[in-house]
Structure 1
């Protein structure tokens, strides 16, 4: 009886030892898999950094259709909506119609736009964007900031309406007095960062 009891204890002890070894091996395997995954992520970001797409802080945009650039995510929406509906769509997804405040942003957007389409921007008469009296031909971004950089096809006409990137113009801007026209549009969003030491 003692023999069976000792044998059971020994078998149980062996079972515990094997289970612990298995758990340790399983944990080691998990750690190796995590290390491999982190190494792959690091390699991807290093390659992207070499290609000039990412710096020490990798840009991570929440939407699959979004592209990160200079602290913002941009989405090129393939729906045709009026100016107000396009702005509403952008706001409902956490953004606004895009602002182009420098030539670098202009060039970045051009790489992603289809030149045969018109694209709404977040550019409107100051009175429209701020809800106050202003000269009819004064335009600003929808947040009220002045237009410093511009890429107009020609001179902005008095009575200008909502701004858009005009098709077949080499990505230059125009205004339409008819903001109810339905164009494609670009939304701009805040950006998320994935910190990565390179």
Structure 2
């Protein structure tokens, strides 16, 4: 349990501070809908795959739309490295049979499950109650399957797809500076010098080329 809590904290911190201003230049990465997606051919269990993405500033991909599913499918057709399974960011670990994305408390809207998988899974080897994490299967028309998250044996280790939030580079706020000048005024009514301080405030912006 402590390990899972530590992983969740790491992912939250990475997402908060690891947003990208542009997508990675790797051929296995591309930008879509404000995110950078990356195909990773290393084979890990689901938890370790999340950890890998978190160290890069993201998390496992959340396929919330048909457009995103189509985009991932097209990239996997040419960049799957001969791998059959790719972990994505969906699980029913909180409530058995209720599949959710990692960063949404609501049940999924768009889905692409294979028949008998996900909420309709009544057991493969271990039974649906132990197959709590989702993957895309390239050998099943790029539909989704569920599988054991911890992958205690290597045959349940899979490649995965990371998702990173892209942020627009913004100009810094104007820098406010104050300059102080001293002016001496002599009058016949008041022979003593009267010193008047004039403070001028100016704003200057920094332009990033």
Q: TM-score, normalised by structure 1?
A: 0.60
Question: Is it true that 1:84 corresponds to 2:59 in the alignment?
Answer: no
SS at 1:121 equivalent: strand
Instruction: Assess if the C-alpha contact under 8 Å between 1:74 and 1:188 holds in 2.
Output: yes
1:183 corresponds to which residue? 158
1:140-166 CA-to-partner distances (Å, cap 9, x unmatched) read 111134311000111431424110001
Which runs of 4 or more aligned residues in structure 1 lie more than 6 Å from their structure 2 counterparts after TM superposition?
Answer: none
SS at 2:49 equivalent: helix
Of 62, 66, 87, 1:99 maps to: 62
2:112 corresponds to which residue? 151
Deviates more, 1:94-103 or 1:64-73: 64-73
1:5-28 CA-to-partner distances (Å, cap 9, x unmatched) read xxxxxxxxxxxxxxxxxxxxxxxx
Instruction: Assess if the C-alpha contact under 8 Å between 1:60 and 1:194 holds in 2.
Output: no
**Offset of residue 107 of structure 1:** 0.2
Aligned residues: 130
Q: TM-score, normalised by structure 2?
A: 0.57
- Structure 1 residues 95 and 144, CA, compared in 2 at 3 Å: closer, same or farther? same
Of 121, 139, 142, 2:88 maps to: 121
2:101 corresponds to which residue? 141
1:60 corresponds to which residue? 22
Structure 1, unpaired ranges of 5+: 1-58, 128-133
Instruction: Assess if the C-alpha contact under 8 Å between 2:93 and 2:132 holds in 1.
Output: no
Q: Which has the bigger relative contact order, CA under 8 A and spacing at least 6?
A: 1
Of 163, 180, 187, 2:134 maps to: 163
Higher strand share: 2
